[in-house]
Amino acid sequence: MKLMERVKAILRVKRYSLRTEKNYCYWVCFFIRFNRMRHPAALSGHEVRQLLECLAIERRVATLG
């Protein structure tokens, strides 16, 4: 099963709304593209921090806390 199929299957088992599923899938795809199409399993916390910093600084996305 491909990554996005697994993501969707998990979200459906948890009974998330279709809109939430679409948003989660969007951000998974965004994360993969941001990291040059590498599979998320091959990435570390460093790549996650880079994405969050990019969103907070360059895109001015609000942070929690």
5/56: higher pLDDT: 5
Is 43's pLDDT higher than 60?
yes
Q: Name the strand (E) or helix (H) holding 32.
A: helix 18-34
Torsion from C-alpha of 30, 31, 35, 37, nearest 10 degrees? -60
Q: Does the pLDDT of residue 41 top 60, yes or no?
A: yes
Q: Kindly report the average pLDDT of the chain as a whole number.
A: 88
pLDDT at 64: 60
Q: All domains of the chain, ordered by start, with CATH?
A: 3-57 (1.10.150.130)
* Cβ within 8 Å of residue 31, ≥6 positions away: 40, 51
Per the listing, tokens 């299957």 go with 9
pTM of the model: 0.74
- Looking at residue 16, what is its pLDDT? 98
Q: Tell me, what's the pLDDT at 62?
A: 66
Residues 39-43: what's their mean pLDDT?
A: 84
